[in-house]
Amino acid sequence: MSLKVAAVNFPTAGNEMLTVVREYDEEKDRAGVEEMERRCEIGQGGKPSLVADLLGDPICRVRHFPSHIMLVAEYGDEREIVGVIRGCIKTVTRGHSVYVKLAYILGLRVAPSHRRLGMGKKLVQKLEEWCKQNGAEYVYMATDCTNEASINLFTRNFEYTKFRTPTMLVQPVHAHYKPLGSSIAIVRLHPKLAETIYRRVFANSEFFPKDIGEILYNKLSLGTFMALPKKSLPEWDPKTGILPSSFAITSVWSTKQLFRLQVKGVSTLTYACCMASRVLDAWMPWLMLPSFPDVFRKFWVYFLYGLHMEGKNGGRLMKSLCAFAHNMGRDDDGCGAVVAEVGQRDPVREFIPHWTKFSMSEDLWCMKKFHDGSGDLCGSLIG
C-alpha cells in the first residue's frame, strides 16, 4: 500500500523556478526516473562502475513492503525529474520481543546537474513527513562511510545519529562446485518451521521483522536451509520443537526478478584476465580455482539472511551452508555472487566465505527517533 503525499512547491534559492516534490507516478514518471538514475550511476569519469538495472520498475526496492512510497523532485517549467527518494515502514523488534514501527530511507538520488541546490534536503523532509504520518517511531538510512555528502545531510540537517557499521560480505560464484563435507546434511525447512525457529533464536534481537512469515513465503525467497551433522539427523524431530545440539541456518533471497547488476568501464586487460580465469575454472573444475564470475554482463545476486549457528560445530556447519548457497548460484546461470550483511560482532562473521577485496566493510547506518516511546532503540544500539 502506498499512501499519497501532496505536492509541495519549494522556491529554489536565487531562481524563480520552482521545485515540486510529489509521489512517483508509475505511468508518467518511469522514463524520466530511469534517465535521471542513469546519470547518477556509480563510478563516473571513465572509472569501473557498478550499474543497476531495475528492470523497468524504479520502485522495486520497496514494493514488497506493505507500507512504501517513492517521491520525485521536479524542476523548472519543463518539470524535469532531477531527484528521487524511496521509503518504507516495517514493524521490527527493539529487543525482548517489543515491536516498534521503523522507517527506512533509501535510494536518494539527485541529478549531478542539480546538486548543491537543496534538492536532497527537500526530498528527505517530505519523506520524513510521510513516515511520521504513518506512525513510524524511528527512521534510519544506510550509506557508504566515504559518502560524506549523504552523511552530513542526515547528521547535520536532520540530526541522525551514527549507530552501526555492518559489513557486506561478497562471495563470487565460481564455475566449480564447493565441497559441503561428507559428514554434513543440508535440510530444506518448510517456511512455517523456519518462522518458528527464527522467532525463537532471534527473540531478543533488534530489527527482527514481525512479518517474517510473509518474507519467507515471498516469491523471491528461494528457501530456508539448515546444516547439521548427519549423525544427528535421525534423532532430530522438528515436531518436538527441540533444536539439534549443533546446527546452522540461513534463508536465501534472489534479486533475479528484482534488479540486475553489471560492471562497466574496466580495461581490456582486466576483462581478459577475469574471463580467462573463468574459462580455466570451467575446464578444470577439480582444481577449484577462485575464478572471477562474468559480471560484465547483467547478473543477479543471492542474499543470505537469518544467519544463525549453535553448538560446537556451528562454524563448520555455517561454512557448509554458505557453500551450499554458492552451489545453488552455480546452477543458476546468471547469478554472480552470494552476499550476506552481518554486524561487526556477529559470531557468524568469521565463518562466511568471502573475498575481502569485494566486500564492503565501511557501510554506515544512521538513525533518529521521531516520537517518545516506551524505550529508546537508538540508545540501546549505540550503547
Q: How far apart are CA 351 and CA 354, in angstroms?
A: 9
**Is 369 exposed, middle or buried (CB count within 10 Å of its CB: 0-12, 13-18, 19+)?**
middle
Q: pLDDT band for 88, please (50, 70, 90 cuts).
A: very high
Least confident stretch, 119-133, 138-152, 169-183, 308-322 = 138-152
Asked whether this chain's domains 19-159 and 170-362 adopt the same fold, the reply is: yes
Q: What is the maximum alpha-carbon separation in the chain?
A: 75
- Ordered by start, the domain boundaries in the chain are 19-159, 170-362
Instruction: Quick: pLDDT tens for 13-27.
Output: 443 358 899 999 999
Q: Please name the residue that has the C-alpha cell 515471498.
A: 218
Least confident stretch, 41-55, 123-137, 156-170, 354-368 = 41-55
Instruction: Read off the pLDDT of each residue in 138-148 and give the average, rounded to a whole number.
Output: 89
Interior/surface letters 311-327, b for 16+ CB within 10 angstroms, e for the rest? bebbbbbbbbbbbbbbb
Distance of CA 220 to the CA centre of its chain: 13
Helix H or strand E encompassing 382: helix 377-382
Q: Which one, of 87, 93, 81, lies nearest residue 31 by Cα?
A: 81
Q: What percent of the chain has pLDDT over 70?
A: 90
**Is 350 exposed, middle or buried (CB count within 10 Å of its CB: 0-12, 13-18, 19+)?**
exposed
Count CA atoms closer than 13 A to 50's CA, side-chain side: 8
Q: What is the pLDDT of residue 245?
A: 93
Q: For residues 16 and 48, which has the higher predicted lDDT (pLDDT)?
A: 48
Helix H or strand E encompassing 223: strand 221-229
Q: What is the pLDDT of residue 12?
A: 44
Q: Which one, of 179, 327, 186, lies nearest residue 249 by Cα?
A: 186
pLDDT above 80 (res 5): no
pLDDT above 80 (res 8): no
Instruction: Read off the pLDDT of each residue in 320-342 and give the average, rounded to a whole number.
Output: 96
Which one is the CATH code of 19-159: 3.40.630.180, 3.40.50.1220, 1.10.1780.10, 3.40.630.30?
3.40.630.30
Architecture per CATH, domain 170-362, reads as 3-Layer(aba) Sandwich (3.40)
Rg (CA), the chain: 22
Q: Are 71 and 84 in contact (CB under 8 A)?
A: yes
Neighbour count for residue 203 (Cβ, 10 Å) = 12
Q: DSSP states of 199-221 as a string? A: HHHTTT-EEEETTHHHHHHSTTE
Instruction: Quick: pLDDT tens for 22-45.
Output: 999 999 999 999 988 888 775 455
Instruction: Read off the pLDDT of each residue in 217-242 and give the average, rounded to a whole number.
Output: 92
Instruction: Read off the pLDDT of each residue in 102-109 and give the average, rounded to a whole number.
Output: 94
Least confident stretch, 20-24, 162-166, 218-222, 364-368 = 162-166
Q: What is the pLDDT of residue 360?
A: 60
Please, what is the Cα angle at 54 between 50 and 58, to 5 degrees? 120
Neighbour count for residue 122 (Cβ, 10 Å) = 21
Q: What is the pLDDT of residue 377?
A: 56
Q: What is the pLDDT of residue 30?
A: 92
Q: Are 343 and 289 in contact (CB under 8 A)?
A: no
Q: Which residues contact 219 (CB under 8 A, 6 or more apart)?
A: 257
Q: What is the pLDDT of residue 362?
A: 66
pLDDT above 50 (res 145): yes
Least confident stretch, 6-10, 15-19, 155-159, 337-341 = 6-10
Q: What is the pTM of this model?
A: 0.87
Instruction: Read off the pLDDT of each residue in 293-310 and give the average, rounded to a whole number.
Output: 95
Q: Are 173 and 336 in contact (CB under 8 A)?
A: yes
Q: How far apart are CA 127 and CA 222, in angstroms?
A: 32
Q: pLDDT band for 181, please (50, 70, 90 cuts).
A: very high
Q: Are 281 and 175 in contact (CB under 8 A)?
A: yes
Q: pLDDT band for 363, please (50, 70, 90 cuts).
A: confident
Q: For residues 1 and 252, which has the higher predicted lDDT (pLDDT)?
A: 252
- Mean of all residue pLDDT scores within the chain: 87
> Alpha carbon of 303 to those of 84, 192, 224, 283: distances in Å?
25, 20, 12, 28
